[in-house]
Amino acid sequence: MNEQPLVSVIIPNYNYASTIGECIRAAKNQTYPAVEVIVADDASTDDSVAIARALDVTVLQVPVNSGVSTARNLGARHAKGEVLFFVDSDVALDPDAVERAVDHLREEPQLGAICGMYRAEPMFPDSLVKRYRAIQQYVWFCEVEGAIPGLHSALFAMKKETFLEVGEFNDRLRWTEEQDYGFRLNARYEVKAVPTIRGRHDHDGTLRVMLTKVFNRTRLGAPNWLRLNKLPGGAGTGYRALGSAFLLAAVIALASAAILGPWALLAAAVLTGISIGLDKRTYGYAYRHHGILFGLQFTVLHLMVTLTSAVAASIGILQGLLFPRMTRRLYRVENPA
């Protein structure tokens, strides 16, 4: 790498007019001096493109909505930089994020990618769900500092030569492109996550959208975890996966209360307590930093997310075991290569 390589900050976007301005301004206001900002728009129908152009950055457009992988690939093809820094359009980088990423890639030439982490505060803290999700992901991201088996695709940097070697993101994948690329990258290089490269993420603001994403990503990712015998971290750490199973068992016990009586209710309470205990770090952070009232609200939301993950993982694993070929064909779950 050159002493001060040009960094291409690539922002894939689809209908994020509410956050794209904040994202671009943060990318332009970096302490690192050699930055070009590229917005790769995936056929947005809102004001995203107009906002980006008004902020005087390069704007590329996909003619037909094709997914985030197509947008990322388009941005990378047009990037002039020796380093590619991918950041989602709902993330505002800290001012020193690019500088710190370049330092890591220069000091550790064996790295395939260096990944950042979200802050515990959302970009716009205007809903309980956003505040919940920011804390949840902050705690989980901080636990996986160092070498990771996957990729944090919303906030990461890599050398362009590495990108060209590993290949583009799989544009056939809509929910698991991050997992697929992380597996491919890890097959050749080490990938690290560090807490010093950070950004504020505008998390999903409604329960329906959040749970839908959790369900789809977990269901489609589970066959890969099963085949590779490797959990991705975060929700997929061993004790959290076990906690999800206990919570699912608690719901099953609760549903059988009409038949089994009080013993089923007692079993449900005990199993739920075990599930919470296995993820005590996440719950504990919410209570310590935001008080009892928010902690109780957080607990309800987190139990719902944990249960959704458990149901989705169960479905995905069963599909992977019973119908492996159909699963790969229907959900386009790819082998790492």
Domain boundaries, the chain: 7-204, 234-331
- Distance of alpha carbon 150 from alpha carbon 209, whole angstroms: 24
Mean pLDDT, consecutive 10-residue stretches, the chain (337 aa), reads 91 97 98 98 97 97 95 98 97 98 94 96 94 93 84 95 96 81 92 95 94 90 66 64 94 90 93 96 96 97 96 88 62 40
- Distance of alpha carbon 17 from alpha carbon 31, whole angstroms: 25
Superfamily of domain 7-204: Spore Coat Polysaccharide Biosynthesis Protein SpsA; Chain A (3.90.550.10)
Reported pTM: 0.84
Helix (H, G, I), strand (E, B) or coil at 252: helix
The label of the residue with tokens 């990944």 reads: 115
The label of the residue with tokens 């952070």 reads: 285
The label of the residue with tokens 């799989």 reads: 170
Tokens of 11: 């922002």
Can you give the pLDDT at residue 221?
76
- Distance of alpha carbon 262 from alpha carbon 94, whole angstroms: 53
Which of 249, 219, 218 shows the shortest CA–CA distance to 236? 218
Can you give the pLDDT at residue 252?
95
Provide, for the chain, the percentages of residues in helix, strand and coil under a 3-state DSSP scheme, each rounded to the nearest 5. Answer: 55, 15, 30
268 φ, ψ (degrees, to nearest 5): -60, -40
Can you give the pLDDT at residue 209?
95
Q: Which helix (H) or strand (E) holds 159?
A: strand 155-159
